[in-house]
């Protein structure tokens, strides 16, 4: 079972910025224990471009699709046998990156 783990940051109360070494160590462990599928940190929401090509021609607009105080700062994809395993890892992940995380199963 695969889970998307979204790291949520808060503009008004950002998490600490010195987490990279801890995150790397945590990723090493995820790989060693067979949970790791993918991980990536994202540039700020302001760098996003929204594309809508449902009409006659593609329309590009500057900025994220939704403006909010909280935003997606990075993602993991994990392979885990069930939600209990994913939640346990997610609790560690939240500590490690000093941010809230959301766990959501893939279909």
Minimum CB distance to other proteins, residue 106 (Å): 9
Q: Which stretch binds other proteins (CB under 8 A): 36-44, 47-55, 59-67, 79-87?
A: 79-87
Choice between 59 and 91, CB closer to other proteins: 91
CA 81 to each of CA 8, 27, 68, 95: distance values in angstroms, whole numbers, following the listed order: 24, 18, 33, 22
Choice between 73 and 90, CB closer to other proteins: 90
CA 6 to each of CA 34, 73, 77: distance values in angstroms, whole numbers, following the listed order: 19, 8, 9
52 binds other proteins (CB under 8 A): no
Choice between 28 and 82, CB closer to other proteins: 82
- Rule CB under 8 A: choose which of 25, 50, 59, 87 binds other proteins: 87
Other beta carbons less than 10 A from residue 89's beta carbon: 23
List Cβ neighbours of 72 (8 Å cut-off, separation of 6 or more): 6, 7, 8, 9, 42, 45
**Site residues, other proteins (CB under 8 A):** 1, 3, 81-84, 87-88, 103-105, 107
């Amino acid at each position: 079972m695969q889970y998307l783990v979204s790291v949520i940051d808060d503009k008004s109360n950002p998490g600490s910025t010195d987490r990279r070494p801890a995150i790397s160590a945590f990723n090493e462990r995820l790989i060693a224990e067979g949970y790791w599928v993918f991980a990536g940190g994202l540039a700020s929401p302001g760098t996003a471009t929204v594309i809508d090509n449902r009409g006659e021609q593609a329309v590009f607009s500057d900025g994220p699709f939704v403006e909010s105080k909280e935003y997606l700062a990075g993602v993991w994809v994990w392979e885990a046998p069930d939600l209990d395993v994913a939640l346990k890892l997610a609790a560690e992940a939240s500590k490690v990156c000093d941010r809230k995380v959301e766990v959501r199963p893939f279909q």
